[in-house]
Amino acid sequence: MRYEEYDSLIMGEENCICYITDLENYDMIHLTKKGMELYNISSPEEYIGQKCYRILQGLEEPCPFCTNKKLIPGEKYCWEHYNEKLNRWMGIEDSLVQIDGKYFRLEHARDITLQKEQWKRLSDQLTVEEILVECVQILASEDNYDTAFQRFLERLGRYYRANRAYIFEFELDKGLIHNTYEWCAANVTAEIDNLQNLPIDCISNWLKKFKETGEFFITSLNQVIDKESEEYKLLVAQGINSLLAAPLYTDNQIVGFIGVDDPTNSTDDLTLLRASSSFVIEELKKRRLIKRLAYVSYTDLLTGVKNRNCYSEVLQKYTAKPPQSLGVIFADVNGMKQINDTYGHKYGDKMLTMVSDILKTVSEDSIYRIGGDEFVILFENIEEDAFQQKSLELKNTFDMDRECDVSLGCAWMDQNPDVNQLIVLADEQMYARKQSYYKKVLENGHQTRVGIASEVLKELKNHQFIVFYQPQINIKTGKITGAEALIRKKGINGELIAPDRFIPYYELEGVIRHIDLFVLESVCQTLNNWKKNDINLKIAVNFSRVTLLEPNIVERIVGVCKKYNVEPSQITLEVTESISKMEHRHLHYLIESLISHGFNLALDDFGSKYSNLSILNELDFDTIKIDKSLVDQLEGCKKSQIIMRNTIRMCKEMDILHTLAEGIETSGQMELLADYDCEYGQGFYFSAPVSLDAFNQMLSEEY
């Protein structure tokens, strides 16, 4: 479009300051002659294709006050703006115009500097009482405290025609003062950042005057203050020549002040400052109360870190919008219950504070206390190396600390990190390390009872746990080919307690390793005895994922086999699908090293829960144990039959050596499974799990 065509689009407004810009890239498309005059532009070449924020406002990036997003077709948007490049006030009217089917921004601007000045003159003539009423209204009517103080200071600053207006608050216990709010006139640089944590002594002069006269003022810096004093240096550094200030009182104590720098109106009248101070203090008190409430509802008051409430919110936030990368450290205080029991809660609290102080050395504000003795640290948008470095730093600090004993777990992820998964990973690593802690404590013969771990060990020693054996049958021949070892616990009255009752709890407490290794040891003993009688069967042992997370677990398992002269090929390690939650690299390393030692690996309970098929692809299992829930539905359910038949077929095609169906209870199920070529079976149809003696009896009948 030519220049004239744009002008015709503006329809008779060519004598106004008017321009058109591209909404997408801020390019200037058109500027009226009047506008060119105002900006000293001689031809359209000087602005066409240039950015509007550069030409019109002298900025290097889009204006923070840009109204593009507020524009709606067919509606006008009116506002006022002080243009710093022109040093003028503009009354502005924005709308959207359509050119060739695309919307552009059209802006009309009017120079309203004169009106503004008139209004200002008028408003300056208002009495102190009227301004005070206005100030009080501002403070009382704004919902947002920050905006209220900001607007209040602006009113105050404009009344005194000052360069700056401000509020300082004291932190009396630390002897510090802070500039908490500031308003600056146009072209005056902000100082608020330079005026934090100042020693209260640097205004001792002021305090004296506040107490004596209720105010403090300097009419000319050079005349009144000792040039060597800190106070002088501070004011000079800010380019201040005169100032007015009035104290803020609470309970007869000065807790801050409000003031203005370099006033040019009412320079000797502090009435407005003094009169508004009591309203300011009331609002400050309210703001503190609200801040305190917010603090209390998000903070763990014992340690000062964030609380569970805050943790839930941040998890929700990360779930809805994951950061680019996320690192999680899980920290759990070892033996917390013990510490409380032995040394009392006061010491327990002290311990938690000490632990959180150590955690604070690696994170300023992302530590959460999520349970009595559990902490989580979340590192948002952190590189993997930096995260590992922090984790290591923390580990070293705890290792060196003589008082705080903490188990740590860490996990990091990028590309849409799943916060919940990361927490599970970090938590698991922490549990694994906790097991080494329990072990260490027990090996060192610690005097203190480490709760459940020592209880379990004591019960093991007292033969309260028994290993039962459930035969595994070759479906074609009907012969026993091996057994699964299943733990039982003796109750007080000699009754047998099923593992489902205690295993989940032991896993949670991180003590399941004792059970798993005990079963392995008993099984190796049995295999060793059988060998003497020329019986060569395999025995399957269940291993919890938590046990497998333990460092050096493979060496430990191999060690037990060696002790009883048992070949690893006689042992099948049963794991469940949940093992896939383990950190990827660690899981592969673990499985490969078990296989390389010659152990057999079975995937237990296949088909019971999520049936994550990719696990079959990823890990080299030699046996798949099809869950009882699929076997249960076999008879009379066409769909179950299809699933069963195809699962068995799939395993064969994937070169998974063996399939075993669990929980077979009827001959009907047996026949169907035989039909589908399922190799092995286990279930009450053959035998429930029985004691070793009973199992040996079965074997002797068969062999």
- What is the identity of the amino acid at 618? E
Nearer to ligand C2E, 310 or 548 (CB): 548
Cβ-contact 40, 17 below 8 angstroms: no
CA 509 – CA 327 distance, rounded (Å): 24
CB of 55 or CB of 594, closer to Mg ion: 594
Length of the chain: 703
Residue with tokens 């959460």: 368
The Cα-based distances of 382 to 31, 324, 325, 430 in angstroms read 47, 8, 6, 21
Q: What is the closest distance, in whole angstroms, from the C-beta atom of residue 602 to ligand C2E in the complex?
A: 9
Applying CB under 5 A, what is the total number of residues that bind Mg ion?
5
604 is a site residue for Mg ion (CB under 5 A):
yes
665 binds, among Mg ion, ligand C2E, none (CB under 5 to 8 A by kind): ligand C2E
* Residue 544 interacts with, from Mg ion, ligand C2E, none (CB under 5-8 Å by kind): ligand C2E
Position 605 contacts ligand C2E (CB under 6 A): yes
Among 79, 610, 684, 703, binds ligand C2E (CB under 6 A): 684
Instruction: State the binding partner of 500 from Mg ion, ligand C2E, none, CB within 5 to 8 A by kind.
Output: ligand C2E
Token output for 190? 């902000």
* Segment interacting with Mg ion, rule: CB under 5 A, options 47-55, 560-568, 612-620, 660-668: 660-668
Among positions 626-645, residues that touch Mg ion (CB under 5 A) are none
The residue (of 283 and 627) whose beta carbon lies closer to ligand C2E is: 627
Assigned token pair, 42: 């001689």
Largest CA distance in the chain: 115
Q: Of 109 and 519, which CB lies nearer to ligand C2E in the complex structure?
A: 519
- How far is Cα 633 from Cα 658, in angstroms, rounded to an integer? 22
b or e along 339-357 (b: 16 or more beta carbons within 10 Å of the residue's beta carbon)?
bbeeeeeeebeebbebbbe
Taking the least distance from each CB to Mg ion, the nearer of 387 and 543 is 543
Q: Is 500 in the site for ligand C2E (CB under 6 A)?
A: yes
The footprint of ligand C2E on residues 622-651 (CB under 6 A) is 628
Tokens 């709308």 map to which residue?
95
From 187-195, 261-269, 498-506, 536-544, give the range in contact with Mg ion by CB under 5 A: 536-544
State which residue, 335 or 663, has the beta carbon closest to ligand C2E: 663
Q: Which CB sits closer to ligand C2E, 258 or 601?
A: 601
Q: What is the pattern of x (binds ligand C2E, CB under 6 A) and - over residues 654-673? A: --------xxxx--------
Q: Say how far apart CA 573 and CA 594 lie, in whole Å.
A: 9
Please provide residue 42's backbone torsions phi and psi, each rounded to the nearest 5 degrees: -95, -25
Residue 322 binding: pick among ligand C2E, Mg ion, none (C-beta 5-8 Å cut-off by kind): none
Options 542, 600, 640, 659; binder of ligand C2E; rule CB under 6 A: 542
Residues 6+ apart with CB under 8 A from 154: 165, 183
- Interacting span for Mg ion (CB under 5 A) from 107-115, 428-436, 541-549, 586-594: 541-549
Instruction: Return the range that interacts with ligand C2E (CB under 6 A); candidates 5-13, 151-159, 318-326, 492-500.
Output: 492-500
Query: Which residues in 91-104 are b (16+ Cβ under 10 Å) and which e?
Result: bbebbbeebeeeeb
Q: Angle at CA 634, nearest 5°, toward 629 and 640?
A: 80
Amino acid at 437: Y
Q: Which is nearer to ligand C2E, 263 or 510 (CB)?
A: 510
Instruction: Tell me if 215 contacts Mg ion by CB under 5 A.
Output: no
604 is a contact residue toward ligand C2E (CB under 6 A): yes
3 state SS of 564: coil
C-alpha span between 435 and 454 (Å, rounded): 12
> For residues 645 and 675, what is the distance between their CA atoms, to the nearest angstrom?
9
Q: 257 near 213, Cβ under 8 Å?
A: no
- 62 close to 88: Cβ distance less than 8 angstroms: no
Give the one entry of Mg ion, ligand C2E, none that residue 515 binds, where binding means its C-beta sits below a cut-off of 5 to 8 angstroms depending on kind. Answer: ligand C2E
Span of 36-44, 411-419, 493-501, 580-588 interacting with ligand C2E by CB under 6 A? 493-501
Binding partner of 689, given ligand C2E, Mg ion, none, CB within 5-8 angstroms per partner class: ligand C2E
Give the nearest distance from C-beta 574 to Mg ion in angstroms: 4
Q: Which does 683 bind (CB under 5 to 8 A by kind): Mg ion, ligand C2E, none?
A: ligand C2E
Residue 148 C-alpha from the chain's centroid:
32
Of 516 and 574, nearer to Mg ion (C-beta) is: 574
Task: Residue 487: name its binding partner from Mg ion, ligand C2E, none (Cβ under 5 to 8 Å by kind).
Answer: ligand C2E
Other CB atoms within 10 Å distance of the CB of residue 272: 23
Rounded distance between C-alpha atoms, residue 692 and residue 523, angstroms:
10
Residues 506-525 that bind ligand C2E (CB under 6 A): 512, 515-516, 519
- Minimum CB distance to ligand C2E, residue 596 (Å): 23
Q: Quick one: which H or E segment has residue 355? A: helix 345-359
Stretch that binds Mg ion, among 12-20, 213-221, 402-410, 661-669 (CB under 5 A): 661-669
**Site size toward ligand C2E, by CB under 6 A:** 26
- What distance in Å separates the CA atoms of residue 133 and residue 128, rounded to the nearest whole number? 9
154: exposed, middle or buried (Cβ count in 10 Å: 0-12, 13-18, 19+):
middle
Q: Could you say whether residue 574 binds Mg ion (CB under 5 A)?
A: yes
Quote the CA–CA distance of 26 and 68 in Å, as a whole number.
Answer: 10
Which of 75-83, 539-547, 548-556, 581-589 is the region at the interface with ligand C2E (rule: CB under 6 A)?
539-547
Measured at CB, which residue is nearest to ligand C2E?
683
Applying CB under 6 A, which part among 66-74, 234-242, 436-444, 677-685 lies near ligand C2E?
Answer: 677-685
499 binds, among ligand C2E, Mg ion, none (CB under 5 to 8 A by kind): ligand C2E
Question: 498 contacts which partner out of Mg ion, ligand C2E, none, CB within 5 to 8 A by kind?
Answer: ligand C2E
Per-residue DSSP letter, 637? -
Beta-carbon contacts of residue 448 (< 8 Å; ≥ 6 apart): 335, 338, 342, 441
Q: Are 362 and 393 in contact (CB under 8 A)?
A: yes
d(CA 362, CA 377): 9
Q: Which helix (H) or strand (E) holds 284?
A: helix 271-298
Does residue 486 bind ligand C2E (CB under 6 A)?
A: yes
Question: Which positions ≥6 away from 289 have C-beta within 8 Å?
Answer: none
Nearer to ligand C2E, 246 or 660 (CB): 660
Q: At 304, list the tokens.
A: 């000062």
Site for ligand C2E in 277-296 (CB under 6 A): none
For the CB of residue 541, give the shortest distance to ligand C2E in the complex, in Å. Answer: 7
- The letter for the amino acid at 427 is D
Least distance to Mg ion, CB of residue 468, Å: 12
605 counts as binding Mg ion under rule CB under 5 A: yes
Q: Which residues bind Mg ion (CB under 5 A)?
A: 542, 574, 604-605, 662
Q: Which residues bind ligand C2E (CB under 6 A)?
A: 470, 486-487, 498-500, 503, 512, 515-516, 519, 542-544, 574, 604-605, 628, 662-665, 682-684, 689
